[in-house]
Each structure stands twice: as structure tokens, then as C-alpha cells.
Structure 1
Amino acid sequence: MSFQSDAPSSRPEPAAVVLDLDKPFPADWRGAVLALGNFDGVHRGHAELARAAGVMARDLGTRPAAFTFEPHPRSVFRPEEPVFRLTPPQLKLELLAEAGLGQVFVLPFDRDIAAIPAERFVDDLLFGRLGAAGLVCGYDFHFGKGRTGSPEMLQAHCLAAGVPLRVVPPFAWQGEAVSSTLIRTALEEGDVARAADFLGRPWFVRGLVAHGDKRGRELGYPTANMQLARDCRLRHGIYAVRMRIDGAWHDGVASFGRRPTFDDGAPRLETFVFDFDGDLYGKRVDVAFVGWLRGEAKFDTLEALIAQMDADSARARDILAGTPPFLP
């Protein structure tokens, strides 16, 4: 089962517009305040961009929108080293809508797009075809051929065109500048609580529940099995989690890794949902990571494994009992 990201959500419905530079743009696409960025993770810093775009749009009597790229540029230039995506495209759209950017302009990124000079990108696309009423970007936003586009370059072009620009400075949380890189590093270390602090919510994944090898059921711990994206570099180990099933969150404990006691196979997420006996096969669910329990380990006997699973479940219950409930 491959990672999926197009499940229904209770979040505001995003309006994604995929830009085709070979076709005319409808007139009603024009006139928005555009927040520019990749927005992977839609973290606290991105929320600050969305807030700034909303304020500018209200002042100008128009609407805010996001302008982003897909796929991530590194996937184009370094496909052998794909970036660990915090939010696949559909989740990114949903989270941007939740942050107040319900309209999202998505520019399909390839080498041809990367070769567009930054000046032409601004004057022809942002000002010319999209008629941006204003622009908002982060202090480190770069774009265009050779990444020569910068906040300073945007400032010069906006002044010449009479278009307002807001450059959002680094957004600090707990004394550190929030970034997607910082969050990826936290997840690679298994520190999901730290990642949640900088995201502003627990990091979660979405996928279809698939049939597994049924070992968990035989051990008294039937699990919902999911294959995550190949670029996922979450640390292998055991986590306290919550799973969203049909819009409702349920507590659980999950293992992400290669199952060294059994087959040492491809990484897989296996979630045991506490006090739940419904059929999950084929359902699309979200799994939110709340707390780190321990690293993956190989056990010499099934009895030792079951004893550890009992201890993991008890500890996960304690962590989740002290974690406020999630909204649907």
C-alpha cells in the first residue's frame, strides 16, 4: 500500500489552483495578496506568513492566497536524496486553509520553471498574470534562476510597481527560529514532542490501513498497518499516538520500523488502538505522534516481547492521559 494523502477532512476545504503557464489565467484569479513559500509542514512560522497576508488583504479589501511549488525543488534537482516531506501536497493544502489561506496557487516545479529569471517570475507571473495586490514572504525566501530572487529583489520590484510587500522576520518559538529543517531533525531523532512545539500541533501522517501478517493479533495486540512515504525519516521506535478514525480521535501505541524480532523488513507503521474493536481495513486514517517511548529492539522470546508491549501500552496510556484531547 502506498502512502495516500487525499482523505476527507474536517478542516476548511482548500481551493487549489494548479497553474499552467501555457494557458490564459481566468480574471478571477487576479488581485489576491500572495503569501509566497514552499510551506512544508505549515508550521508556526508559516502561520505567521498567513496572518500577515490576511492583515494586508483586509487592509486592501481583497483576499489572501498562498503561492507554492510542487514537488519540492530538491526532488527535482536531487532525486537520489529526496527531502523528508512533513506534509504531502493534499495535507499542505488543508493546513494552509486552516491557517487562513483557503486559495492556493500551485506552480508545478521542474527544471524549466527553475530556469525562469527571478525578474521575469515577478513581473510576468506575480504582477502580470496573477495581478498580485500585495506580497508576503519570509526573510529567507529565494526563487528564480540561480536563486537570485530574494526579499531585497522583491522589495525593489514592489516599490517600482507600487505593490506592498511584507517580509516576515524569523519567527522564534522557545528561543529558536522555527523552520522545516528544525522540525525534520526533531522527527529524525524521535523527538515528536519537540516537533509538535514548533509545528503548533502534533505531526501526523495519513494512509490506508492494509492487511499485515496478523502477528499482532496472535500476540494480543492487533494493529492497523500503514506504509509511509519512502522519504519518511522518522526515527524507528515506539510512540504514544492518537489515530483519527471517521473524524474521531482514539488513543493508541505505535511501532514504526523494521520489526527486528521477526523479519527486519521494509519500514512499516503498526498502530494498536486502545479499547477499539472495529474493522479498520481499507480505511483512510490519520496517526498523530504524541510521545516517544523507546527505540526499536529485538527480543529473544515472544514472552519478553509481549511483556515489553504491555509496558509500552501502559506508558502510552499515561502520556496520553496527560495530553489534552484533540479537536476532530
Structure 2
Amino acid sequence: VVRPGSHPPVLTSIVRRAELVEQLGIDVFCALPFTLEFSRMPPAEFAHHALVEQLHASAVVVGENFRFGHKAAGDVAVLSQLGETFGFTAHGIALLRDGDGETPLSATYVRTCVQAGDMAGAAHALGRPHRVDGMVERGDQRGRELGFPTANLRTDAWTAVPADGVYAGRVVRLDEWGRALPGPPLGTAAISVGTNPTFEVRQRRVEAFILDFDGDLYGDALGVEFVERLRGMEKFDSVDALVAQMRRDVDQTRSQAV
């Protein structure tokens, strides 16, 4: 809205956020549409319109670096002052920080981990593995021909997809709204992200080989959870060399017991 096309990669969709909030036992989740008009509200108008008129807030809890209102003019101190005027209390919560005690565990921190393929770092900050959702579409069937049929995930362009490479992880089924279906994961998976340089494929893809699974997933919605990066993307001299490495990837994934 403010700078179209310049937004950072999205870690979680609105549906996924609502799902996570529900798991925490919170009863109501509200997502306010961020329009150009909304972005131009000064702090006082935002507090009165969004917090008082719409939410009837009696207490507001935010992170210590919370900013709001036009040009991010409001902070926790301003929110507290407005609370005195409008009849609510404001509470700023200290941010969790990395082991160095300096770096806050923020969305920016998680994106940096994801873009570097540091899935352990991302999971540490999130409290769960980073998940990429999408629909299974037909690929070129090359994985099936090599003995490793993969689910090819069609992801949204704005999704935060990890760095190119091979990962160990899990796959879960999603319902029509993008929420994880109840029950155990569909299975442990060896996941490939990137192009396929051995076959000169230039399109970047997310492909998951689900261990010990035999079924048709075309058209299904899946969530791919990235647990650990096994290696970078490589170009092999022969198909046999590629298949041998894929077998090692699967063995390593299985041994991780993700």
C-alpha cells in the first residue's frame, strides 16, 4: 500500500497467523485492512478508531519497539499517554534476543535465517519450524523417473522460501483454508529448493520427496516444514551421480528423525 512491490518476503499468511494464535488459546483474532487511508491515521485517531471504537480495549500489550500511526509517529510512550485519555492501559513487553543478548528475535531476524538456509536459527526464533504452503502441481516427472517422486509445490511469489539447497523436513496436509489438518504429519521429507542445474532447469521450485509415501497429491494443499539444511544445490556430471547423492540425502533425512 505504502510502497507497492517493495514488501519483504512473507513468513506467515493471515490464515497461518490465525491458526497459530488459536493454538495459543486466544479466542478472537482480528486483522484490520491496511489501506492507504488507514496508513495516514495519526496515532490518536488510530487509538480511538481501532482500539477503542472497534476493539473496546481495556488493556493493550505490544512489543517494546511497537510503532503506530502515520509515519510511525507513535511508540509505547505515546500509546500509554493515549490510554490515559481513552481509558485503557498499555504494556510494552521486552523483546526476546539471540544468544549474544544484542540481536532481537524479530521477523527481520527470521527472514535473514531463512534466506541463509539457517533453519535451526529460524526455528529457534519462531518456536517452530518455518513452513512454506502451496498447492501440488504437475512437474516434469523427472523425480519419478529417477525413483524419487516429488510433490512440486506452487508457492506464492511473496513467500519466504529458504535458500537453494536440500533440506530435511516434514510435510503436512492443509484444508481448503490453508490450516493444518489434525493428526500426524503426512511424512518426513527430503526437500529440494532451487533450480535443477543438472538438467538445465531454470525455474526455481520447492519439491518434497515424502519418505515411505505412495499416493496421488496433485491438487492438494500441503505445508512443507523445513527442519535442517543438508547441503547446497549442485550440478552433477551424470544422472547416476545425481541419483547416488539423492539416496544419500534420503538416508540422511531418515537418520535425522525429523
Structure 1 length-normalised TM: 0.71
Task: Measure the CA separation in 1 of the matches of 2:161 and 2:217.
Answer: 25
Which segment drifts farther, 256-265 or 108-117? 256-265
Show the counterpart of 2:172: 244
Output the CA distance in 2 between the equivalents of 1:170 and 1:279.
44
Q: Report how far residue 228 of structure 1 moved.
A: 1.9
- Contact kept in structure 1, 2:135 and 2:155, CA below 8 Å: no
* Letter in structure 2 aligned against 1:244: V
Q: Distance in 1 between matches of 2:223 and 2:197?
A: 25
Match of 2:252 among 311, 315, 322: 315
Question: How many angstroms apart in 2 are the aligned matches of 1:229 and 1:179?
Answer: 22
For 1:94 and 1:129, the matched residues in 2 are separated by: 22
Aligned residue identity for 2:219: G
> What's 2:198 paired with?
261
Calculate the aligned-residue CA RMSD, in Å.
1.6
Aligned to 1:288: 225
Deviation, 1:241, is 1.1
| Aligned counterpart in structure 2 of residue 110 of structure 1, from 35, 42, 46 | 35
Q: Report if the CA contact (8 A) 1:137-1:167 is conserved.
A: yes
What is the CA distance between 1:161 and its match in structure 2?
A: 3.0
Structure 2, unmatched stretches of 5+, are 174-180
Determine the C-alpha separation between the residues in 2 that align with 1:167 and 1:258: 44
> SS state of the match for residue 32, structure 2?
strand
Partner of residue 216, structure 2: 279
Q: Is the 8 A contact 1:258 1:268 kept in 2?
A: yes
Work out the CA distance in 1 between the residues paired with 2:220 and 2:49.
44
Partner of 2:177: none
Alignment correspondent of 2:145: 218
Tell me if the contact between 1:84 and 1:184 (Cα under 8 Å) persists in the aligned partners: yes
- Letter of the 2:241 counterpart: A
Corresponding position of 2:128: 201
- Whether the 8 Å contact between 1:227 and 1:267 is mirrored in structure 2 is no
Give SS of 1:288's match. strand
Mapped pair 1:161 → 2:89: no
Measure how far apart 1:158 and its partner are.
0.9
Partner of 1:189: 116
- How far the C-alpha of 1:222 sits from its partner, in A, is 0.4
1:171-206 alpha-carbon deviations (Å, 9 max, x no partner): 235444211111110000001111011100111122
3-state DSSP of counterpart to 1:314: helix
Cα displacement (A) at 1:273: 0.6
TM-score (normalizing by structure 2): 0.90
**Structure-2 residue corresponding to 1:8:** none
Q: Hey, what's the Cα distance between the residues in 2 that align with 1:233 and 1:222? A: 21
Task: Please say if residues 132 and 161 of structure 2, whose CA atoms lie closer than 8 Å, have aligned partners that are also in contact.
Answer: no
Cα distance in 2 for residues equivalent to 1:101 and 1:135: 14
Residue 62 (structure 2) pairs with residue 131 (structure 1)? no
**Runs of 4+ deviating beyond 6 Å:** none
Unaligned runs of 5+ in 1: 1-75, 324-328
SS at match of 2:132: strand
Cα distance in structure 2, aligned partners of 1:293 and 1:209: 23
- Which residue does 1:89 correspond to in 2? 14
Give the length in aligned residue pairs.
246
Question: Post-superposition shift, 1:282?
Answer: 1.6
Q: Match of 1:277, SS? A: coil
Q: Contact (CA 8 Å) 1:207, 1:285: kept in 2 or not?
A: yes
Amino acid paired to 1:302? V
CA contact (8 A) 2:135 2:219 kept: yes
Secondary structure of the residue aligned to 2:196 is coil
